Amino acid sequence: MEDDILDRVEAVAEADGRYQKAGYLFLYEALQHTVEKFGKTAMPKEQRHVSGRDLLQGISEYGLEQFGPLTRTVFAHWGIHQTSDFGRMVFNLVEAELMSKTPQDCLEDFLEVYDFNEEFDWKKRKAQYKRQAAS
């Protein structure tokens, strides 16, 4: 990321105060992961949009890939405890013109999409990864 964008993200994190800069940077990485998953990277910027629910699924996948059993702990360290926290972060970035949204996008898209305790249950996820690897 360019220094200007990093400075602006840091300013957003400081202004809000609830979430660490590292969480916002992870959010950008998870968005990129999600856009790639849906095969939208080659599309024009205005066509790369993903829904809040799709982004949250990408966040889950990317978080587990990056942090494994520590995903929930890392998110909590950043101040993120539920899916609505990611929604607030997205809309903080939208307000700062560091992300975009469609007229249909709203914070409610991020409310209670999944429970962190269940979604990031490593024992359950580890079994899923083993099944996927075997097939």
Domain ranges of the chain: 3-134
Which helix (DSSP H) or strand (DSSP E) does residue 57 occupy?
A: helix 52-67
Q: What is the pLDDT of residue 99?
A: 93
Q: Give the SS3 label for residue 24.
A: helix
Structural tokens at position 15: 């202004």
Q: What is the pLDDT of residue 1?
A: 61
Per-residue pLDDT of the chain (135 residues; tens, 9 = 90+): 687 889 999 999 999 999 999 999 999 999 999 999 987 777 777 777 899 999 999 999 999 999 999 999 999 999 999 999 999 999 999 999 999 999 999 999 999 999 999 999 988 877 766 666 566
Q: How far is CA 119 from CA 5, 39, 61, 70, 90, in A?
A: 31, 24, 10, 12, 20
Residue 121 — φ and ψ, nearest 5°?
Answer: -75, 105
Q: Establish how many alpha carbons lie within 13 A of residue 34's alpha carbon, considering only the half-sphere containing its beta carbon.
A: 21
